[in-house]
Every structure is written in structure tokens, then in C-alpha cells.
Amino acid sequence: MHTRTLGQGLEVSAVGLGCMGMSQSYGPNPGTRDEMIAVLRSAVDLGVTFFDTAEVYGPYVNEELVGEALAPLRDQVVIATKFGWRIEDGKSVGLNSRPEQIRRVADESLRRLRTDVIDLFYQHRVDPDVPIEDVAGTVAELIAEGKVRHFGLSEASAATIRRAHAVQPVTALQSEYSLWTRDPESEVLPVLGELGIGFVPFSPLGKGFLTGTVDRSTSFTDGDIRGTIPRFSEENRAANEALVAHVAELAATKDSSPGQIALAWLLAREPWIVPIPGTRRTSRIAENAGSATVPLSADEVADLDQLAARVGVQGDRYNPQQMSFVDR
């Protein structure tokens, strides 16, 4: 697979792998732990070098899974994990990015990931009770100590990014971005381009909707986060099918899948954008990796740029509680 460079010279595969769904958020995992380890290792065989996890996924078990799977391949991969949640009795109950908490999470994540350094350490959500300068300064100390290589932010505003970057250069921002979630375009993307910070879109396939495998008739199982998101109500799914139909029509002309078109569009936006679609299947990893070679003309990119505005997207990307943790 082609590689791309995020901020501060961090080189990763053009398409990464979001590992969260192997442990939570999308209902029961149909595979066993050993099967998920095999899937993670198959991703490396397919050229994926960038893996995304977090202490809160599970909690904790996703880091353990990623650590076990990638330990034999550690010198071939870049592992990103995150801090910033307060976890009690196995559940996230609020935010906590106090310096002592960041240090504790770093040490525990290193142990679970079976490594001596975290390649990319994101603040998972901006904590309004802790100045971002204190957060950046603490991560800078961890970098100086050799426990962390790079600093990242997630769902941070343009102003927060600037303040953090002034203390410790930010390597990557992670936020939701896709053909139907365009929030970062007005303020965040210009700042990233100006400061030389990479962008790592999560949910680049719209939590499965942009692949065409989810429609108005889909039933979500218990524990599937999509059942809590307004955009995935039956009424909104029905309205949003028009967007996917357009993507599917373009995909058919290129002997590709709708998901590949959605990822190819992201890759065409900027050379420092690296999406991290999640999956539990090696076949999907191969499909997603193939998006890096799907050619889109300038006219096709421009048409996709306008698609959401032209067709319309119904429903918010988060419910009010989820949205309350987004820095705006």
C-alpha cells in the first residue's frame, strides 16, 4: 500500500485500521479473540501499518487485543491510543485529562499494548476543566521520557488545536469526517493545512452506511451504537439512501465498491489525510486498502464534494449527550 505522512514526519499506510469495533459499539463480535488476532495480523500482510485503539474501548480489552496481535510485528506498525476519559466500574463516566491521569494512562497502555513506546497518543476528547496547555505539556514530558513519540487530539476545535500546537507540535487530529459528515471543512482543515498537522478521519464509511450494507430495513442489535444516533433512525436512513445510491452508481463505473469510492474521495482531498475504517473481516480490510488505487477525476471529486449539500443529509451525527463531549 502507498504511505502517507502525518505531522512531524510520521509515516503510515494511506489507509489505517480502526480497531474499536472488535471490542465494542457494533453489537456482539461474531468472531473469537483468536480470529480477531488473525484479522489484525492479516492487515499487516495487506500493507496496513497504522492501527488505532484506546483504553476506553472495552474498556481496556481492545488495547490488550491489539497488543497481543501486533507484538510479533511491532517494528512494522504504528500504534495509536488515547487518554482522556474517567473510567469507573468498566464504564466511561466523564472526562479526565489531568496531568497525573495522563501519566497513569500512558503507563497502563504501554503494558496492555506490550510495547515500550506509544507511537501516537491522542487526547480522546478535550477536557474543559484542564487547560489544553497543561495537556500538551504533559505529553511533551512523556515524549522527552521516551514513552510517547507523537501527540494527537480528537474532536478538537481550531482554537484548541492552535493552543496545543504552540506547546507541543501536534502530529494528527482525529475527528469524524466522511461524505456525509463535513463538519471539519470550514475551520479545522484549514488550520491543519496551515500548521502541518495530519488528519485522521474516523467513521470514514459513515459507520457502515456509506458501504451500502445498511439501509432502512436494517435492525441494530443490543449494544450497537448506531441505535442511539439520530442519523440512523429508520426515517433518516430512508432519506439518506439517495446519497449512497449516487456513490454506488459511480462505483459501478469503476468496478469498485461504494466504500472504496467514499475512501478514495477522502484520500483525494489532501495528501495528509489518512482514514481509519474499522472492520472485523480480512476481506473488508483488503477492500478498504484497495481504495488507495481507485482513480477519481477532478470532476468526480468535485461532484462528490457537493453531494451532501445537493442531496441533503438527514439527522445529527451524535445524540445530545455524545455531542456534549465535542470541543466546539
Residues identified as active-site: 57
Q: How many CB atoms lie within 10 A of CB 125?
A: 23
Q: Is residue 69 within 8 Å of 40, Cβ to Cβ?
A: yes
CB 132 within 8 A of CB 164: yes
Cis peptide before 184 (omega within 30 of 0): no
Write out the H or E segment, with its range, that includes residue 152: strand 148-154
Please give the grid coordinates belonging to residue 102.
495522563
What's the one-letter identity of residue 231?
A: R
Question: What is the torsional sign of CA 300, 252, 203, 5?
Answer: negative
Residue with cell 445498511: 214
Q: How far apart are CA 224 and CA 27, in angstroms?
A: 5
